[in-house]
Amino acid sequence: MSMEQAVRSATGLPAEMLGFKDRGLLKESYVADILIFDPARIQDRATFADPHRYSLGVDYVLVNGKIVIRQGEFTGTLAGKPLRK
pTM of the model: 0.81
* Domain-wise residue ranges, the chain: 1-29, 32-78
Using CA atoms, how far apart are residues 13 and 25, in angstroms rounded to an integer?
9
Helix (H) / strand (E) element for 16: namely helix 12-18
Cα dihedral: 78, 73, 34, 11 (round 10): -90
- Local structure of 15: helix, strand or coil: helix
Closest CA to 7 of 32, 27, 25, 22: 25
Q: Tens digits of per-residue pLDDT, 2-58?
A: 989 999 999 999 999 999 989 999 999 998 899 999 999 999 999 999 999 989 999
